[in-house]
Structure 1
């Protein structure tokens, strides 16, 4: 991408998709390059908190199912 081109910011759902792929560690370099400068920091923080809460809830559910 050329320096003089305006970077397009991602929507909230686009940011959530980028964060979801990042949580599982599967990102193509091209997608990462598109994300740089195009993610809204507020959306990233909100998405990170939501993702962390879901991850903890899944872990607690698994532990409660295994431990009687």
Structure 2
């Protein structure tokens, strides 16, 4: 229980967390950067940033598909 409290009080800002999550979506991370991030990222921020990034990704895919399908039928 104490570990969970310590994890949620880590020092990384939400912007740093979002950057780490976006790099993980791309899959281009150095091992040393990953280890450094894991020591300072707040797990709650990681979950929220992951959900936001996934929603944006799905939204972009929907827009691309609608654009392609609209041009094909129009």
> Shared fold by TM > 0.5?
yes
* Length, aligned pairs only: 61
- Taking the TM superposition and a 5 Å limit, the aligned residue runs for 1:1-68 are 9-68=11-70
CA RMSD of aligned residues (A): 1.2
| Structure 1 runs (4+) greater than 2 angstroms displaced | none
1:37 is displaced (CA, Å) by: 2.9
Q: Which runs of 5+ in 2 are unaligned?
A: 1-9
1:9 is displaced (CA, Å) by: 2.7
Select the structure of larger CA radius of gyration.
2
Q: Which runs of 5+ in 1 are unaligned?
A: 1-7
TM superposition score normalised by structure 2: 0.76
